[in-house]
Amino acid sequence: MFTRDYLLGSLLAASATAWKTDVHNQIGFMAETFLDPYTRIIIGEILEPQYNGSIGRAAAWADSFAHTAEGRYSYQWHWIDSEDSPPENCALNYTQDCSIGGCVVSAIANQTSILRECISDVKSGLLGGGRNLTCSYALKWVTHYIGDIAQPLHASGLGSGGNRYNVTFGPLKTNLHSVWDGLIIYEDARVLERFSNTSLDPFFGSLVSRIHTDDFFQPTYEWLSCMNTVDPLPCALHWAEESNAWTCSYVYKGLDHTTDLATSGYAEMAFPIVELQVSKAALRLATWLNSLALTVKPRTKANKQDVLEL
Residues contacting 279, CB < 8 A, separation 6+: 30, 207, 210, 211, 216
Name the nearest CA neighbour of 308 among 185, 129, 155. Answer: 129
- Asked if the model's pLDDT at residue 31 lies above 60, the reply is yes
| Backbone angles phi and psi of 167, in degrees to 5 | -140, 170
pLDDT digits (tens, 9 = 90+) for 111-133: 999 999 999 999 999 999 999 99
- Asked if the model's pLDDT at residue 300 lies above 90, the reply is no
The pLDDT, as a whole number, for residue 118 is 98
Q: 85 falls in which pLDDT band (50, 70, 90)?
A: very high
Angle at 138 between CA 132 and CA 142, to 5 degrees: 155
| Omega before 49 within 30 of 0, i.e. cis | no
For domain 4-300, is the CATH number 3.40.50.300?
no
Q: 13 falls in which pLDDT band (50, 70, 90)?
A: very low
Domain boundaries, the chain: 4-300
Q: Using CA atoms, how far apart are residues 83 and 245, in angstroms rounded to an integer? A: 13
C-beta of residue 25 within 8 angstroms of C-beta of residue 279: no
- Asked if the model's pLDDT at residue 9 lies above 60, the reply is no
